[in-house]
Amino acid sequence: MEYKSNNNVVYSCKYHVVWCPKYRKKVLVVGVDVRLKELIHEVAIERQSEVIELEVMQNHVHLLIEVDPQYGIHRLVKQIKGRSSRVLREEFPWLKSRIPTLWTNSYFVSTVGGAPLEIVKQYIENQKNV
């Protein structure tokens, strides 16, 4: 098992996060999905987090990420959703006419401590084939 550290903590905090566009609309298509992946990676790098696996479906996102516990998964998800909503709605104006806001306020998060990491990665990789 690999551990990360900051000035105060040695950690291994991996999370499986899933969230959806408002009304679960199928709007993560035709370039939005590609740009969303770029934005998620940008925010993760800025917050010293590591994207382990990422899959963007038409109407939801699966993310497996390692996060510094002092920063927190809630703050990271909030930052990813906030920035991606703002940027995607600017770059893809048609999103504004489809839904009032890009994301719902809610999301699913689960720690990955109990499941083997390879199983969770495989699950996320196979989402498009389901």
Catalytic machinery residues:
123
Which has the closest alpha carbon to 20: 93, 77, 92?
77
Between CA 123 and CA 84 the distance in angstroms is 24
Between CA 1 and CA 15 the distance in angstroms is 15
Q: Show Cβ contacts of residue 73 under 8 Å, excluding neighbours closer than 6 positions.
A: 13, 15, 17, 65, 67, 109
Q: Are 51 and 44 in contact (CB under 8 A)?
A: yes
Rg, Å, the chain Cα set: 15
- Distance from the first to the final alpha carbon of the chain: 30
